[in-house]
Each structure stands twice: as C-alpha cells, then as structure tokens.
Amino acid sequence: MDIRILGVPMDLGADRRGVDMGPSAIRYGDLATQLEEFGAACTDGGDLAVPRPEERDPDSSQPDGGRAKFHRETKEVCEDITTAVRSTVADGETPLVLGGDHSIAIGTVAGAAGPDESLGVVWFDAHGDFNTPRTTPSGNIHGMALAAILGKGSFGGEAWAHTPAVSESNVALVGLRDLDDGEQRLVRESDVTAYTMSDIDARGLPAVVSEALDIATDGTDAIHVSLDLDWLDPSEAPGVGTPVRGGVSYREAHSAMEAVARYRDQLRSFELVEVNPILDDHNRTAELACELAASAFGKRVL
C-alpha cells in the first residue's frame, strides 16, 4: 500500500488550544517508520495552511440563530483538505490525514468520495459529533463534523459540508459515551448505526467492530475510517482535548484497527484526530496513534 501523510494543524473547531500541534507530535512518534517497517511505501505531503484563531474573529452567529465558530475559516481549510485528499487518491495513494481537531473530517470525507461513488464511514469516537449549529452548546464545529457531512444543519444558510456519496445507512459510530441532549435526538432520528460503550461491554468489541465494518462496506465502493484518540480511555490516551472516562483499552483499540486492516483493499482514507501534546504525558498519545495507524494498515506480530 502506498500511503501519503497529510497534516492539518487545525484547532479552529475546538475550544482548547494544542491540537494544532497534533500532526507534529504524531510524526515525532515515528509514524512513517512504523508504516515502512511492515512494507508500506510512505511519503509525507507536509502540512496544510491553517489560520491562527488569534488572528480571526470567531463570529459564531448564523442566519438561522445557530452558532458555528470560525465557520468561514473552517470551510476554507476543509476545501483545501478536499483538494489534497482528492489529489492523493488520484495518484493511487491512500491519504493518512493527521489532525488537528475533528472538523477536518469534513474535508477528508469530501475528498475521499469520488464522483458517482458511495462511501461508507466508521467513526471511532467517544462523541457523536452529531450536533448542528442549532443544537450545539459550544459552537465548536468539531462537535458537528459528522452531522455536517450528512447534510444536517445550516451553516451560513447552506448545508455546506453535505457529501451525497455518504448514506446514513452506511455510517457506524463506535464507542459513544458522551452525547449532548439535542445530539442524542438527532442520532436516534437518523439511519446511522450507533454503538455505545455499553454495547461493547455487552457484546464484545470484536463483534461490534466487525458489524460496523460490514455496515460501512455494504454496497459501497470504499470506506473512510476516522479515529478520534479520545475513543480510548484517558488512562491510555491522556493527550486529548475532550477526555471521557470509560473508553476502550490499549489492546481493544489494536484489535479494532486489526479488524480495519482486513478491509484495507476497500480503505480509501484514514485519519487520526484530536491529539493534544500539551495535555499529553511524554508523547504517549501521539505514539499510540502511530501504533494504531500501523495496525490499521496491516502491521502484525506474525
């Protein structure tokens, strides 16, 4: 597999500074070396330009009364991500996109979805990212990314991020344990499949992840996998902006990524998001992100 690393030092979509340093921290964790050790060809496409929030006005108000901080800037960056991901796919490489906050997924998914194609999505996250500008308690777009991809909510008077290639019935959220009230309602009313940590406790992680991948690949041309490091328990991944107790363990996370690797012929794109080295302990979370990416792309003990 030919992999191209793309960094997006984005923190416009989050409340807490630090995730803009995520791409550097993950690279420092020897990401390329780990991928190359098992035979992957890896190139680094560098970082995309992202404006500094201190230099911009968040201007969160929306025409319909909702809130979406740094909407214009986030839209511009995501358009650049879309172009970079689309170019990577056209060159026959698999984009490995490093965040940055989870709003970058809006651009990654749009770039991964080719014309006249269908794209499944597996979203490993403690949060649903299913808010809209009308339901969000914070105005942070990283908590709206998946809803925006599915065309929910009005951003500047339009369903700005809608990616028609992605059908709700081919989206699986895995490991949820922290949803806002309005977000809960939207998830229940949608056709996405949502697995909470209680589902994982009851059924076991291998069964849940296998089913999630079946959903994402059912009738689709390819899949996108989005891994938010806060999916793991904070004892395993302390360096994240929005930690939530009760997440998956180190071994469970590797098991999930090993399951993803069984579908790597259908894996169009992969992203690692929400690593915050300011909050980390000796770069533990970034190094773990590197390990998990290697497992997702096929690294094995034997």
- Of these residues, 274, 280, 287, 291, which one is catalytic? 274
Tell me if residue 181 is catalytic: no
Query: Largest Cα–Cα distance in the chain?
Result: 56
- Of these residues, 102, 183, 236, 271, which one is catalytic? 102
Tell me if residue 129 is catalytic: yes
CA distance 226 to 96: 10
CA distance 210 to 70: 37
Tell me if residue 80 is catalytic: no
Tell me if residue 287 is catalytic: no
Residue among 296, 294, 224, 271 nearest 103 (CA): 271
For residues 152 and 158, the answer to whether their CB atoms sit within 8 Å is: no
Tell me if residue 291 is catalytic: no
- Of these residues, 47, 101, 127, 178, which one is catalytic? 127
Tell me if residue 2 is catalytic: no
- Of these residues, 11, 47, 93, 129, which one is catalytic? 129
CA distance 26 to 99: 9
Tell me if residue 230 is catalytic: yes
- Of these residues, 11, 20, 142, 291, which one is catalytic? 142
- Of these residues, 93, 101, 230, 291, which one is catalytic? 230
What is residue 164's three-state secondary structure? coil
- Of these residues, 101, 125, 183, 271, which one is catalytic? 125
Tell me if residue 258 is catalytic: no
CA distance 16 to 158: 27
Contacts of 50 (CB under 8 A, 6+ apart): 8, 9, 10, 11, 12, 20, 77, 100
Just list the catalytic residues: 102, 125, 127, 129, 142, 228, 230, 274
